[in-house]
Amino acid sequence: MDRAAAKQQLDLLKIEVPSWAYGNSGTRFKVFAQPGVPRDPFEKVSDAAVVARLTGAVNSVALHIPWDKVDDYEVLAKHAANEGIALGTINSNTFQDNDYMLGSICHPEGRVRRKAVDHLLECVAIMDQTGARDLKLWFADGTNYPGQDDIRARQDRLQAGLEEVYAQLGDQQRMVLEYKFFEPAFYTTDIPDWGVSYAHCLRLGPKAMVVVDTGHHAPGTNIEFIVAFLLRERKLGAFDFNSRFYADDDLIVGASDPFQLFRIMHEVVKADAINPANDVAFVLDQCHNIEPKIPGQIRSILNVQEAVAKALLVDQAALTAAQLAGDVLGANAILMDAYDTDVRPLLAEWRTERGLDPEPMKAYAASGYAQKIANERVGGSQAGWGA
Ligand code: PSV
Ligand code: MN
């Protein structure tokens, strides 16, 4: 595709940011608090809106319940609209209550399963108020020891819980089901991979779609294959973007392996799935433990845009011709030519033409916003991963 067409395609790409990225986060060893961190969902939304305004590629901010619970979601939605952003995906939380030690909707005890399903139904009720389309489900459920629980019975419980929530979804609502190969459970995880998520989604029906969290695979997994397969089956509902090095590190997307992100986005571009009409949601799922949060988010958006821009530049006609001719090296070279292109000037041009600063990172540094929030946000308690 030529540069002009690529710029038009980039207009379509919208990436949702997560409210939890703006709060303090860390490891089990230490959380390093940062100045100016939001103290409530309103301040998180304001920070997300800064990222939206500077990048021009963000429309919405994902909420996490109960961390972002408010008395009146209309008030929060109005605040968001005033800031120029919308409320997006509702993320459930069935992993931070003492009752969930042995799982949530897969728990052996009916009382705990009821509590977990009720929470998910509450999330659907919140979606009704905010107008959100997607309920994002990630379950920490699993076991640590052989024999601890019955693997198949847990699948039965999972299915029953999901079916109850699915039945509550409105016509325009979806559930997007995430998988993760380990952690916090280490022996079995109840939804460890895309296949298990896919099987449950298929059984549930068209409103259930798989989420690919780029950080939730074993090292060496070919994520672009999974993406291509799910796109072909029309069962890819959303991405959670981040990058991992060892485990589920929740680092900046494209930071450690930009080539992998390019390969993934190439499959997305080929399926025309950056077009919102095709209903694939692009969402960041990251935490910024040692880097400042708002610039961390901006950098993430730029990384995704760069990967997409490179993918758009692939000469698809030449690639197909080389593939059909069995020209292994030629095909590979065509893909690499696009990857090796420096797309930063193209993206700077795209921003300038749309009235944005060509360099969002510098624009943020010059904006004085970091100082402003550090001065203003004193007192109260800072939000953190878990609040
Ligand atoms: C935990 O691994 C996780 O990162 C999941 O990916 C969820 O999407 C996210 O937390 C927020 O619940
Ligand atoms: Mn995730």
- For 330-378, write each residue's pLDDT tens digit: 999 999 999 999 999 999 999 999 999 999 999 999 999 999 999 999 9
Predicted pLDDT of residue 386: 75
For the segment 268-323, what is each residue's pLDDT rounded down to a tens digit?
999 999 999 999 999 999 999 999 999 999 999 999 999 999 999 999 999 999 99
**Pairing verdict, β 174-178 and 208-213:** parallel
CB 107 within 8 A of CB 115: no
Average pLDDT taken over every residue of the chain:
97
In a domain, 337, yes or no: no
Contact 89, 238 (CB under 8 A): yes
pLDDT above 80: residue 387: no
Separation between Cα atoms, residue 22 and residue 17, nearest integer Å: 10
- Beta-strand (E) ranges in the chain? 15-18, 60-64, 86-91, 134-137, 142-143, 174-178, 188-189, 208-213, 236-241, 281-284
Note whether 127 and 172 are within 8 A (CB).
Answer: no
The residues lining ligand 1, judged by C-beta closer than 6 Å to any ligand atom, are: 91, 138, 178, 180, 213, 240, 248, 250, 285
Quote the pLDDT of residue 272.
97
Please choose, from the candidates 136, 125, 19, the residue with its C-alpha nearest in 3D space to the C-alpha of residue 89.
136
Domain-located, residue 45: yes
- The verdict on residue 325 lying in a domain is no
How many CA atoms within 13 Å lie on the side-chain side of 103? 28
Position 344 in a domain: no
Residue having the nearest C-alpha atom to atom 2 of ligand 1: 248
Ligand 1: centre distance to CA 148 (Å): 24
Phi and psi for 90 in degrees, rounded to 5?
Answer: -100, 120
With respect to residue 187, please indicate whether it lies within any of the assigned structural domains: yes
Q: Is pLDDT at 68 greater than 90 in this prediction?
A: yes
Whether 240 shows a pLDDT value over 80: the answer reads: yes
Tell me what pLDDT residue 211 has.
Answer: 98
CATH (domain of 197): 3.20.20.150
| Residue having the nearest C-alpha atom to atom 8 of ligand 1 | 138
The percentage of residues in the chain with a pLDDT greater than 70, rounded to a whole number, is: 100
Structure tokens at 358: 């060509």
Q: Is the whole-model pTM more than 0.95?
A: yes
Tokens 């920070």 -> residue: 47
In a domain, 93, yes or no: yes
pLDDT at residue 384 is higher than 90: no
Domain count, the chain: 1
Using the mean position of ligand 1's atoms as its centre, give its distance from the Cα of residue 285 in Å. 7
CA torsion 315-317-323-329 (nearest 10°) is -30
Ligand lying closest to the C-alpha of residue 183 = 1
Burial per residue of 125-150, b for 16 or more beta-carbon CB atoms within 10 angstroms, e otherwise: ebbeebebbbbbbbbbbbbeeeeebe
Dump pLDDT digits (tens) for 77-130: 999 999 999 999 999 999 999 999 999 999 999 999 999 999 999 999 999 999
Q: Which ligand is nearest to the CA of 20?
A: 1
Q: Give 236's pLDDT tier (boundaries 50, 70, 90).
A: very high
Q: Is residue 386 part of a domain?
A: no
Domain that holds residue 16: 8-312+357-376
- 3-34 tens-digit pLDDT: 999 999 999 999 999 999 999 999 989 999 99
Tokens of residue 305, six digits: 């845009």
Tell whether 98 is covered by a domain: yes
**pLDDT tens for each residue of 189-211:** 999 999 999 999 999 999 999 99
The per-residue pLDDT for 385 is 81
Amino acid identity, position 94: T
How far does the centroid of ligand 1 lie from the alpha carbon of residue 276, in Å? Answer: 23
- Would you state the pLDDT for residue 31? 94
pLDDT attached to residue 354: 98
Q: Which tens digit of pLDDT belongs to each residue from 77-87?
A: 999 999 999 99
Beta pairing partners, 64: 91
239 Cβ partners below 8 Å, 6+ apart?
211, 212, 213, 214, 280, 281, 282, 283
Looking from the CA of 19 toward its CB, the CA atoms found within 13 Å total 32
Distance 213 CA to ligand 2 centre (A): 5
Ligand nearest to the CA of 91: 1
What are the C-alpha distances in Å from 68 to residues 54, 177, 379?
A: 24, 20, 19
State the alpha helices, DSSP H only, in 233-356. 258-270, 293-313, 316-324, 328-339, 344-353
Atom 5 of ligand 1, nearest CA residue: 138
* One-character DSSP codes across 86-113: EEEEEEP--SSSGGGGG-STT-SSHHHH
Which bound ligand lies closest to the C-alpha atom of 92? 1
The best mutation among 285, 286, 287, 288 to test binding of ligand 1, ranked by most ligand atoms within 8 Å of the C-beta, falls on 285
